[in-house]
Amino acid sequence: MRITWIIRTLLLALAAGVGTLAWWLTHPPGMEGVQTLRWPAEAGRATDITVRFLGVSTVVLDDGETALMTDGFFSRPDKLTVFLRKVAPDVPAITQGLQRAGSQPGASRLAAVIPLHSHYDHAMDAPEVARQTGALLLGSSSTLMVGQGWGLPPERMQLAQLRTPYRFGRFTVTLYPALHTPTGFTGGVIAQPLVPPVRATDYLEGQSYAMHIAHGNRTLLITGTAGFVPGALQGVKADVVLLGIGAMGPRSAEHKLRYWNETVHTVGARRVIPLHWDDFWIPSTLPMQPMPRPLDDFETSMDFLRQQGEADGVNIRLPAAWTPMDVFDGLPR
């Protein structure tokens, strides 16, 4: 009888745990507490450079002559596909995403697409973005394996070198070493051409980057994940940081503070715009909503950013979705 009671207790606990997990995954955190941080719809436009946030850590920078894109992720397979099936680029979704972002296939001024690391939600779609727009795929050896697996010609790909300036029109891009947020998906390299469909976990991290962009006297830094290499950004300056906060919420207070200090504080940023907080298992045509628990903790991340912003005099703003922003608006030149 005692064994039967133990088994029943374990089964009930398991059922309760599964039920709680299912509820979390279908009830994402609300955004009521961050409404005052939203980018205003009528904010001023830059005369020299605009930034569009397209979800996860896909960002387009455009000065009217040249455009750059990080990641280029538009497929956004649902959670069942990611966990139980195989993933592959959704070509129609990529085409629609590029059109919505203003990068018309065949008539694009997109010069380069640069994945910040090689997980599927960063690098999977990038070769198709390059194919449709004529852009260069610039990235790690792992990202180039993704490009080869998709059949992108070698002349359309370039292996990125750390701390080496790349010039695209009036943009200067320099990539610095970074690390993924400490999770079970951190690390690994893609050593041979990756031909989709494959498991989402086959898209290994490869080299992660913190991407510095200079344009005239404006500078910004983009991180695609809440990890860091100690000291990697010493001597680097940026007015604005587009800060990847994916999976940052559950990390320790010490990790969050070190990440802030190694990125925001080190570069002397005056504004932080969080990226990679949205649920990338829902289509980009729907309103963005935070990643559900327990995979992340959006409220904790935003509370931390607000507290650190107040302490250090750094302006914290949530980005507008798909809308051109002057991320330097209100900052002194």
Rounded CA gap, 24 and 34, in Å? 20
Query: Mean pLDDT of all residues in the chain?
Result: 90
pLDDT above 80: residue 1: no
pLDDT above 80: residue 256: yes
Domain assignment present for residue 3? The answer is no
Domain that holds residue 219: 45-316
Please write the tens of the pLDDT for every residue from 216-240. Answer: 999 999 999 999 999 999 999 999 9
Pairing of strands 271-275, 315-316: parallel
Domain assignment present for residue 273? The answer is yes
Rounded CA gap, 46 and 102, in Å? 17
Answer for the pair 69, 52: CB distance below 8 angstroms, yes or no: no
pLDDT at 5: 54
Count structural domains, the chain.
1
Cα four-point dihedral sign 185, 82, 284, 73: positive
Domain assignment present for residue 17? The answer is no
pLDDT at 215: 97
Please write the tens of the pLDDT for every residue from 235-254. Answer: 999 999 999 999 999 999 99
Rounded CA gap, 296 and 59, in Å? 21
Domain assignment present for residue 15? The answer is no
The contacts of residue 297 (CB under 8 Å, 6+ apart) are 29, 249, 250
Residue 141: CA count within 13 A, CB half-sphere: 5
Nearest residue to 305 via CA among 259, 267, 238, 266 = 259
CATH code for the domain in which residue 132 is found: 3.60.15.10
Q: What is the pTM of this model?
A: 0.90
Domain assignment present for residue 5? The answer is no
pLDDT at 20: 41
Please write the tens of the pLDDT for every residue from 105-141. Answer: 665 799 999 999 999 999 999 999 999 999 999 999 9
Confidence band, pLDDT 50/70/90 cuts, at residue 41: low
Confidence band, pLDDT 50/70/90 cuts, at residue 151: very high
Rounded CA gap, 254 and 269, in Å? 20
pLDDT at 7: 56
Domain assignment present for residue 156? The answer is yes
Pairing of strands 157-159, 166-168: unpaired
SS3 readout for the chain: CHHHHHHHHHHHHHHHHHHHHHHHHHCCCCCHHHHHHECCCCCCCCCCCEEEECCCCCEEEECCCCEEEECCCCCCCCHHHHHHCCECCCHHHHHHHHHHCCCCCCCCCEEEEECCCCCHHHHCCHHHHHHHHCCEEEECHHHHHHHHHHCCCHHHEEECCCCCCEEECCEEEEEEEECCCCCCCCCCCCCCCCCCCECHHHCCCCCEEEEEEEECCEEEEEECCCCCCCCCCCCCCCCEEEEECCCCCCCCHHHHHHHHHHHHHHHCCCEEEEECCECCCCCCCCCCCECCCCCCCHHHHHHHHHHHHHHHCCEECECCECCCECCCCCCCC
Domain assignment present for residue 122? The answer is yes
Rounded CA gap, 318 and 315, in Å? 10
Burial 289-323 (b: 16+ CB within 10 A, else e): ebbbbebbbbbbbbebbbebbeeeebebbbbbebe
Please write the tens of the pLDDT for every residue from 5-22. Answer: 555 555 444 444 344 444
pLDDT above 70: residue 45: no
Domain assignment present for residue 324? The answer is no
